[in-house]
Every structure is written in C-alpha cells, then in structure tokens.
Structure 1
Amino acid sequence: MPDFMVSPFDRPIARKIQPPNDQDPEGEDFALPSSGWEAMARGARGRCPRCNDAKLFHRFLKPVATCPRCRQDWTHQQADDFPAYVSILLTGHIMAPIIIALVQETALSLAALAAIIVSSMLILMIGILQPAKGATIALQWWFGMHGFVKERGTSKEENPMPGHPGGNGKGLP
C-alpha cells in the first residue's frame, strides 16, 4: 500500500556537490570576507558572499544553486520572509517623512498624493527586496546557519582557551 502522506518534498535530495575550497578550478586564490559586514555588503550587491566574483542570483529573488567560481552550495539558505520584513521596515521609515512633507507642504489633490505615494512605496520596496535577501543569505553563510559551514577563522580573542568554548585564557570560569 503506498504511503499517501509522503510528498516529493519529504524525500532527501541526493546531489553530489564538490565541497568548497579556497581555490577555483584554475588555481587562482580568492579572499574570504574579513567580517560579517563585508559578507553582507557582497550579498547586498548581488555577488557571491564567499568569493565576490560570481552572481548570487540567477533570477530576481532566486539564488544560484552553486557558485560557479568557488563552488559554494547556496541551497542551504533559508531567507524566508525576513527580506520582505526588512524591505517593508526600511520603506516605511524612508517614506514617512516624505509623506508628511507632501501632505503638509503641497496642495496636491488626494488622487495625486495617492499616486505619488503608492508608486514610490512600491518602487522602493521592490528595489530593497533583492539586496535584503542577498545580505540575509550572506549573514546565514557567515554564521554557519542552516547547514552552511562556518569558514572564518577564530582568533585568540574569540576563543582564547582552545577546547574550552567559554574560557577566558586564565583558567577562570
């Protein structure tokens, strides 16, 4: 008897993707970002946060499965609704003073105000959406969330006592 409760989405995806390394196939080195902010800036520009050479998106909001330059697997990303929240929040904060100024300082009709405000808000929200998603994906990769491998090195200040995650290097708790 077939199991009708199992969907194609419940089956594990068996894909062979080469693990990322610090060299591309031609042997050229690339620099990992030095901070999470740099990785987010790369993602916001629509570039691969890991190598900064290839595109992160192959459609407006659809990230590539694997970076062609550094072979980083981007299928682990789970940006979900967070980029939309960021886009709406920023649009509201940018448009609020503009709306107040338009209403108080101009003598435009209600229809003209509505046309200006709605079209400006839609353009701004759509314009912010892809950079917000790229930055979110980069942040997930930087912190090693959702199956990504954390690739940044840890310094002595971050973990001064090897093997002890909460140590301060002086033997004190």
Structure 2
Amino acid sequence: MTHTQTHAETHDAERPTGQAVLRGLQCRCPHCGKGHIFARYLKVADTCPACGEELFHHRADDGPAYLTILVVGHIIGFVIHFMWVQFRPEPLTMAITLSVLAVVLSLALLPRMKGMVVGIQWARRMHGFGGPERG
C-alpha cells in the first residue's frame, strides 16, 4: 500500500462505474453521493464538501458539451417530427418553441453530463483519481 492510497481504496479496489455515473448525473460526489460536485454552475469543487474526496483531478474538457449536443439533438429531432405531424404549426412558432426547448434542455443537461464524465473518470481512476499517474 502506497502512502497516497486510503484504507477504503485498498479495501474496495473496484469502484462501481454505474453508481458513479448515476451520482454524477445527479450532480453528486461519485464517492459518497451526498456532497454537491459543483461549486458553481459548471465549476467542479476541489473536494467534496461531505466526504472530502478530491475532485480537482477531473479532465472533462469538451466531452460534456458533445454529449449534451448529442442528447439535445436527438430530442429536438423527435419533437420536430412530432410537432409537424400532429400540429403543423407556423414555421416561426415552431422555430421559437424549438429554440427555447433546445436552450432549456442544454442548460439543464450540461452540468449533469459533466458530473457523469467526472463520475466515470473517478470510477476508472483516470487522471489522478486513483493516486499518482503511472506510465
């Protein structure tokens, strides 16, 4: 056991990825599930306020934005088809409605996607989450 490993890490070497992903989607700490992962809207806290887990190691970069665009694009695509087939609204009405929906969905999903990416990185011990980098 190296001095950077905690007792919990050596006792439970496997971190459940599914649980970490769900906690990230809830914007909670991937370790304890109690503390908020964000200090501000998209600023990941350096440590969990509940358990003290270090979270500053994350490297989310553009991943959450790409995932948000992917999800929002699919939802908007379905809504476009549904609105046109069922209601045939005026083009301006459709454009305004879909634009507002896309913005609201993007703002709601972006922190959740970032939390999910941080959760995956934590569970897989990526970017320093499992101690010093190897290699």
- Opposite residue 62 of structure 1, the aligned amino acid is K
Report how many residues are paired.
125
Which of 117, 121, 133 aligns to 1:140? It is 121
Shift of 1:32: 9.8
Aligned-residue identity in percent: 31
Structure 2 counterpart of 1:112: 93
Q: Distance in 1 between matches of 2:125 and 2:15?
A: 15
Q: Does 1:94 align with 2:70?
A: no
- Cα RMSD (Å): 2.3
1:126-173, CA deviations, whole angstroms, 9 ceiling, x for partnerless residues? 1111110001001001111111117xxxxxxxxxxxxxxxxxxxxxxx
Unaligned runs of 5+ in 2: none
Shift of 1:38: 0.6
Which of 70, 75, 78 aligns to 2:56? It is 75
TM-score, with length taken from structure 2: 0.82
- Structure 1: 4+ residue segments shifted above 6 A: none
Shift of 1:45: 0.5
Shift of 1:70: 2.2
TM-score, with length taken from structure 1: 0.65
Shift of 1:69: 2.6
Q: Relative to 1, partners in 2 of residues 1:113 and 1:53: Cα closer, same or farther, differing over 3 Å?
A: same
Higher relative contact order (CA 8 A, sep 6+): 2
Unaligned runs of 5+ in 1: 1-17, 23-30, 151-173
